[in-house]
Amino acid sequence: MSEKVKLFDLSKCIGCRSCQLACKQWNQLPASQTVNWGTYQNPPDLQYNTWLLMRFQEISDGNGGVKWIFRKDACMHCTDAACVKVCPTGALFHTKYGTVSLDVSKCIGCKECVIACPFDVPRYNAEVNKIAKCDMCFSRIDATLEPACVKACPTDALIFGDKKEIVEYAHARAEELGGDASVYGDQFVGGTHLMFVLPDKVPVYEKLPENPRVPVSVIAWKDWLKPLSLIAAGGVLAGSFLHYIIHGPKDTSGNGDAGKGGGE
Amino acid sequence: MEMPAREGVNKMIPQKGMIKVSDSFERIVHWCLAISCLVLIITGLGMMFRSFNFIGIPFGGMTNLKLVHNFVGLFFIPALFFAILVWWREAGKFKFPDDLEWIKVAGGYLWHVDEVPKTGKYNPGQKAFFWAVAFFGTIMVITGLIMWFPLDLPREFVRWMYPLHALGFLVIFAFFFVHLYLGTIGVPGSAQAMFTGYVTRSWAEKQCPLWLEEMEKSGKLEIYGQNTIHVQH
Ligand code: SF4
Ligand code: SF4
């Protein structure tokens, strides 16, 4: 089955938040009371019941004017997914589409994925002791439908399709936009399955890491110390056994006891 | 029928002439630490390796496995505290150059050594074990507690708790198993030190000769059936 990618083209987004709403609706996520904190961005951050958040930002356009930016924030569906790497139960897993899904029944609420994710995506729900995040509508894409957010987007700022085609299109689009425009997502963590076309340089965008990577601590833990601990454990088991049959136990009986070999 | 105490080495029931090497408090602390450590290793393995997830089944699932791990960890804290308190004096300090000589010949445990340097109550190998447990045990407690409540601390800091916890497992398991081996079949006659508290004189002569001399000189040595009144039939 071919890998699928969802592309968000910021230059086409009108900030209507249809996607955010569609996500809530399709996934039956409860609403939270919001407050007016001076921006359309609500809730302020991702939550266990908000898997997709439109981030609203105002920046200077360089000519004394203001530019309004809308950026979609959600799970990036990494190929080298730190969350999948650390999850002790396999609750987080890669689907055949390359996306990262969550088997809620297997989640034990350890929060290891929350700490490991380079994009700060998984959110912990204390009430049920589970984490929650976007699964790119696995049930929908597995039924050959597009994700709910893509379906709801009125401007085609969100599109969904086979990885090869989407990546090609993204680069063509960035070129078309010119200037500082770039494609975000295919150059790190093995390639993400949510990608962006960014009209401005990466550091302009809030909470968008410039060079996301699986944390070194996760690599040290999962790729080095885990196998090393197996080798060490096997070493002492085998070593003790070999010691017993080659060197033999220590003779702690009385000196000159009959029937005892010399204490080697 | 009377049996001479020095004949065998496997004296699980104290016999006349056997020597007391540990009191009941030491033995209780030892087993609290040993059992909690073992449960932590088993439950921890169930979470560390996905292929060991089946360890969660008898606990009723992985969520419970984690709960058991966490709460046994809480029990481990006082056990570790008292263990450090109890053995710090006798096993916490290396004595140079004597201990260095012992280390050079690996205590005679690995190859034949004509004369192994005499040791006190604990040999440098055991002292190293004490330090491994004291140091990495403390690391396990700190990292474990942070891993239990990881959300409100700086993320970059919390991330390093996990590999440290894994490193602690690596070190503690290695020492744990060698300790298990040497405390049982590797050095026969040792285990009863942690069950009854009494070992044979020949065991003490070989395992802690300097301590034995010192205790005899100071008259503090407790010998089973001597100096003490035993209420026997
Ligand atoms: S963005 Fe975070 S939660 Fe999503 S796949 Fe990557 S590591 Fe996992
Ligand atoms: S919180 Fe759940 S999904 Fe996240 S690592 Fe732990 S078990 Fe896996």
Predicted confidence (pLDDT) per residue in A224-252, tens digit = 999 999 999 999 999 999 999 999 999 88
Task: Give the B window 98-137 contacts with A, CB below 8 Å.
Answer: 108-112
Q: Which domain holds residue B14?
A: 1-21+199-233
* B133 and B154 share one domain: yes
Contact A217 B160 (CB under 8 A): yes
Q: How far is CA A218 from CA A85, A130, A215, B156, B205, in A?
A: 8, 21, 5, 11, 49
Maximum CA pair distance of chain B? 69
- Residue B211 shares a structural domain with residue B165: no
CA distances from residue A256 to A66, A263, B111, B185, B190 in whole angstroms, order as listed:
96, 10, 21, 21, 20
Domain check: are B14 and B41 in the same one? no
**DSSP line for B63-125:** HHHHHHHHHHHHHHHHHHHHHHHHHHHHHS---TTHHHHHHHTGGGSSS--SSPPP--SS-HH
Q: Which of A57, A1, A56, A46 has its CA nearest to residue A24?
A: A46
Atom of ligand 1 nearest to the CA of A120: 2
Say if residue B102 is in the same domain as residue B167. Answer: yes
**Into which CATH architecture does domain A4-30+38-209 fall?**
2-Layer Sandwich (3.30)
User: What local confidence, expressed as pLDDT, does residue A261 receive?
Assistant: 39
pLDDT band at B9 (very low <50, low <70, confident <90, very high): very low
Q: Are B17 and B101 found together in one domain? A: no
10 Å CB burial of residue A102 (0-12, 13-18, 19+) is buried
Whether the CA torsion A90, A120, A216, B47 is positive or negative: it is: negative
CA pair distance B233, B227, nearest whole angstrom: 18
Instruction: Give yes or no: residues B56 and B93 share one domain.
Output: yes
Alpha-carbon distance B47 to B138, whole Å? 20
Q: Counting Cβ atoms within 10 Å, is residue A67 exposed (0-12), middle (13-18) or buried (19+)?
A: middle
Enter the pTM of the model. 0.92
**Lowest-pLDDT range of A124-133, A189-198, B39-48, B102-111:** B102-111
Are residues A90 and B53, on separate chains, in Cβ contact within 8 Å?
yes
Instruction: Provide the token pair at A145.
Output: 């439908």
Q: Taking each helix axis as running N to C, give the angle between helix B24-48 and helix B161-181, from 0 to 180 degrees, rounded to the nearest 10.
A: 130
Query: Residue A158 in 3-state DSSP?
Result: strand
Report ipTM (2 d.p.): 0.92
pLDDT in tens, A170-202: 999 999 999 999 999 999 999 999 999 999 999
Q: Is the peptide bond before A43 cis (omega within 30 degrees of 0)?
A: yes
Claim to verify: residue B14 and residue B34 sit in the same structural domain: no
Residue for token pair 């395992």: B207
Instruction: Tell me whether A242 touches chain B (CB under 8 Å).
Output: no
Domain co-membership, B28 together with B16: no
Structural domains counted in chain B: 2
Whose CA is closest to A193, among A103, A84, A75? A75
Cα B57 to Cα A106, B54, B83: the distances in Å are 13, 5, 32
Say whether both B53 and B75 belong to one domain: yes
Given this model, what pLDDT does residue B226 score?
A: 83
Do B191 and B204 have their domain in common?
A: no
Query: Which token pair is A39?
Result: 């921006």
Least distant ligand from the CA of A100: 1
Per-residue pLDDT of chain A (264 residues; tens, 9 = 90+): 699 999 999 999 999 999 999 999 999 999 999 899 999 999 999 999 999 999 999 999 889 999 999 999 999 999 999 999 999 999 999 999 999 999 999 999 999 999 999 999 999 999 999 999 999 999 999 999 999 999 999 999 999 999 999 999 999 999 999 999 999 999 999 999 999 999 999 999 999 999 999 999 999 999 999 999 999 999 999 999 999 999 999 988 875 443 333 333
**CA–CA gap between residue B158 and residue B152 (Å, rounded):** 9
Interface contact A226, partner B, CB < 8 A: yes
When CB atoms are compared, the residue of A129, A229, A264 closest to B112 is: A264
Question: Do B62 and A89 lie within an 8 Å CB cutoff?
Answer: yes
CA distance between the termini of chain B: 15
The residue to mutate among A75, A100, A106, A107, having the most atoms of ligand 2 within 8 angstroms of its beta carbon, is: A107
Domain spans of chain A, in order of start: 4-30+38-209, 217-248
Q: How far is CA B231 from CA A215, B15, B197, in A?
A: 65, 14, 17
Phi/psi at A227 (5° precision): -65, -35
